[in-house]
Amino acid sequence: MNAITNRYEFVYLFDVSNGNPNGDPDAGNMPRLDPETNQGLVTDVCLKRKIRNYVTLEKEGSQGYAIYMQEKAILNNQHELAWKALDIPADAKDGYKKLPKEAAKAKELTDWMCMNFFDVRSFGAVMSTGVNCGQVRGPIQVAFATSIDPVVPMEISITRMAVTTEKEAEDQSGANRTMGRKHIIPYGLYRLHGFISAKLAERTGFSEADLELLWRSLINMFEHDRAAARGEMSARKLIVFKHEHAMGNAPAHVLFDRVKVGRVQGEADTPARNFSDYQVTVDVEALPPGVSVSSLI
């Protein structure tokens, strides 16, 4: 499949109600916060994980849509698949540690990884960890998502009513009723900026079909990611800027500035508890020449 020929940027809005969108392991799994503003944060790694998970569900078993970076994946085994599929012999001294001396053979290995793994083709990867398949820079990059307003983390106490052993069951004192904690925020609307480079897509083969799959992933990924800590997360807006030229027709920040998210008039004095408490506007007047905008949600 041919690579995309247009550059894109997108603004993605999602929200969470009474949940933890991205726990911080350095803070006891509390929701991530900007310490200066108390705005919530969700990392790029967290969101890429959800995209990978959606692709796995939709494309399981489909050729070219395997996932490279998955739970408990042994990356060197993933790399070795390329060497064996292309029937490239290991070096007598270094085995698979170094790329073949022939540049064309080395490129074949990297291209095979891009062709077979959706996330390598999309996000890129460093594939030189013992079994060497080179490295590639992916066309898709996303920033951290930041909440529109400050959020207030809450710590909720929970108890476990069941016990694990018969001895614990015989204890009538209640001392074995284990106490636990859940960290949530009552509500938060988060904004994410994303970037898609057509020129980098040429190197990995990221295609129009891949692009459509990315949009479906962003729209639907929370529908298949329900958990006790993430029961109510929803995709709310996906605003896409498309450039006519592969190198782009305007700076990304100029386009992002055209998307405004603010509180509904008269509601700013009360805490937001729903997406309807916000209004989203896109200034479509006098867009830079060669740029179009569409809303996929």
Low-confidence stretches of the chain (pLDDT < 50) are: none
Q: What does each C-alpha distance from 197 to 47, 87, 186 come to in angstroms?
A: 19, 32, 36
Q: What's this model's pTM, rounded to 2 decimal places?
A: 0.91
pLDDT tens for each residue of 273-283: 999 999 999 99
pLDDT at residue number 208: 97
pLDDT at residue number 5: 97
Backbone angles phi, psi at 286, to 5 degrees: 55, 50
pLDDT at residue number 173: 64
DSSP 235-264: EEEEEEEEESSTT-SS-HHHHHTTEEEEEP
Give the largest CA-CA distance in the chain: 76
pLDDT at residue number 174: 60
pLDDT at residue number 145: 98
**Separation of alpha carbons 38 and 67, rounded Å:** 35
Please give the distance of CA 291 from its chain centroid, rounded to a whole number.
25
pLDDT at residue number 177: 63
Give the number of C-alpha atoms closer than 13 A to the C-alpha of residue 183, restricted to the C-beta side: 16
CB 67 within 8 A of CB 52: yes
Among the listed residues 295, 227, 183, 184, the one whose alpha carbon sits nearest the alpha carbon of residue 53: 227
pLDDT at residue number 229: 83
User: Which residues, in sequence order, are CB contacts of 251 under 8 Å at separation 6+?
Assistant: none
pLDDT tens for each residue of 210-223: 999 999 999 999 99
Q: What is the DSSP letter of 2?
A: P
Q: What residues does each domain of the chain span?
A: 8-156+181-295
Structure tokens at 209: 């079909």
